[in-house]
A = this chain, B = another copy of it.
Amino acid sequence: MPHYRLAFLGFGNVGRALARLLERKRVSMKVHYDVSVSVTGIATRRHGYAVDPGGLDVQKALGLWELGESIAPLSIFDVKDSLAVLHHSGADVLFETSPVNYDSGQPAIDHCRTALQIGMHVITANKGAVVHGYRELAALAATKGKRFLFEATVLGGTPVFSVFREGLPAATLTAFRGVINSTTNIILSQMEAGKTFDEAVKYCQGIGVAETDPSNDVDGWDAAVKVAALVTVLMDTPFTPHQVRRTGIRGITPAMIQEARAQGRRWKLIASAQKTGEAVHATVEPQMVDKESRFYALQGGSSGLEFSTDVLGELAIIESDREGLPPGPEPTAYALLADFLNAVRR
Contact = CB atoms under 8 A, between A and B. Distances in A.
Contact of A338 (B28, B169, B313): B169
A341 B165 CA distance: 11
A194 to B, nearest CB: 18
Interface in A12-57: 21, 25, 28-29, 32-33
A317 B317 contact: yes
Interface residues of A, number: 54
Contact of A313 (B29, B151, B321): B321
Given A25-B170, A291-B296, A319 B330 contact: no
B162 A166 contact: yes
Contacts of A151: 167
Interface in A170-184: 170-172
Contacts of A171: 334, 338
Contacts of A312: 156-158, 319, 331, 334
Nearest to A330: B311
A162 B172 CA distance: 18
A261 to B, nearest CB: 13
Contact of A297 (B29, B292, B313, B330): B292
Nearest to A341: B169
B346 A346 contact: yes
A157 B168 CA distance: 9
Contact of A331 (B313, B316, B320, B342): B313
A318 B319 contact: no
Contacts of A306: 318, 320
A302 interface: yes
A181 B296 CA distance: 23
Contacts of A337: 169-170
Nearest to A29: B170
* Identical subunits present: 2
A285 to B, nearest CB: 21
A338 B25 CA distance: 29
A227 to B, nearest CB: 21
A329 to B, nearest CB: 12
A337 to B, nearest CB: 7
Contacts of A294: 294, 297, 318, 320
A163 interface: yes
A328 to B, nearest CB: 10
A145 to B, nearest CB: 12
A167 B166 contact: yes
Interface of A: 21, 25, 28-29, 32-33, 151, 156-159, 162-163, 165-172, 291-294, 296-297, 299, 301-302, 304, 306, 311-322, 327, 330-331, 334, 337-338, 341-342, 345-346
23 contacts: A21-B311, A28-B170, A28-B172, A29-B170, A32-B169, A151-B167, A157-B311, A159-B167, A162-B166, A162-B167, A163-B167, A171-B334, A293-B297, A294-B320, A297-B297, A304-B316, A311-B330, A312-B334, A313-B331, A314-B319, A315-B317, A317-B318, A318-B318
